Amino acid sequence: MAALWAGLLGTPSAPAQAGAVTVTDDSGRQVALAQPAGRIVSLAPHLTELLFAAGAGARVVGVDQHSDYPPAARHITHLGSALQLDLERLLALQPDLVVIWQSGGGAAMIDKLQSLGLSVYRSDPRSLGDIATSLERLGRLAGTEAQAARAAQAFRQALHELRRQHAGKPRLRVFYQIWHRPLMTVNGEHLISAVMDLCGGDNIFADLPTLAPQVSTEAVLVADPQVIIASGRAVERPEWLQAWLKWEALAAVKQESLYVIHPDIIQRHTPRILQGAEQMCGYLDQVRRKLDSRGAGMPKR
């Protein structure tokens, strides 16, 4: 797996070759360019990462304010966010292509960008496999198909290996906490839920209709998760994760199964999500060992 992280970003590919390109984005719309994009604006951190991984980093001329990885992205012109975008500065960059996260509050901005005659690629990955597909599509749009194909294949191989390692393990009830005020989680359609499933975890709020719903403390207590995983905003353990300790009857508290994963490697739709998956799977394996040592039974697939 270490070779995957080192190789996915790689070095910029050769200049894009002339020729019309067409791809279908995650909304089902076709994005057609007269030739591969030489000037790209990215309005989401995961898209900036994907573009670099696909060999198109040298073509990125503008990014949103949260794009900070790889380190080279910090030195690219920042344009604000999809909700508060410096349109004048964006237009001055004369992009051939703008890539944006559809579920990240970008719907109104997409309409605005298109009304200005800009080509827009909508990203909205919902499965782990969608990450590899996104690499391939972005590589085609940027004319860096060879590196994008290598990155996509490396991702698929690493994902397959993780699935093989964790197939058939006893299932655990998992609560993933995005934030505390309000208390927020993810539903079964979210990519993080797919990571849980990969590791043998069942999302206790999978059936909720909203992608990132608000929930109550009472609902968490009723579902009685065996594992609680929090993200927060940094590497440090968020203080609000410790707040669950007062609920001593909660299975996750009794088993001392409160964990943290840095949001950048679990909440961004990029190849680095497999690092987050490795971490989550490791946590769930720790809980299984605790339960085995206590003679507690667990359901299997």
Q: What would the pLDDT profile of 27-67 be if each residue is shown by its tens digit?
A: 999 999 999 999 999 999 999 999 999 999 999 999 999 99
Give the model's pLDDT for residue 41: 97
Give the model's pLDDT for residue 149: 97
User: In angstroms, rounded to a whole number, what is the distance separating the alpha carbons of residues 155 and 274?
Assistant: 8
Give the model's pLDDT for residue 13: 46
Tokens of 191: 């990519």
What is the pTM (predicted TM-score) of this model? 0.88
Residues of the chain with CATH 3.40.50.1980: 6-159, 169-293
The DSSP element (H or E) to which 7 belongs, if any, is helix 2-9
Least confident of 10-19, 70-79, 190-199, 219-228: 10-19
Give the model's pLDDT for residue 299: 54
Distances (CA, A) of 101 to 1, 83, 84, 90, 152: 27, 11, 14, 16, 20
- What mean pLDDT comes out for the span 175-181? 93
Give the model's pLDDT for residue 10: 46
- What mean pLDDT comes out for the span 77-89? 89
Instruction: Say yes or no to pLDDT of 296 above 80.
Output: no
Tokens of 92: 């001055």
End-to-end alpha-carbon separation of the chain, Å? 26
* Contact of 67 with 45, CB cutoff 8 Å: yes
What is the CA angle 190-110-19, rounded to 5? 100
* Contact of 213 with 188, CB cutoff 8 Å: no
Q: Domain spanning 169-293 has what CATH number?
A: 3.40.50.1980
Q: Domain spanning 6-159 has what CATH number?
A: 3.40.50.1980
109 pLDDT band, cuts 50/70/90, is: confident
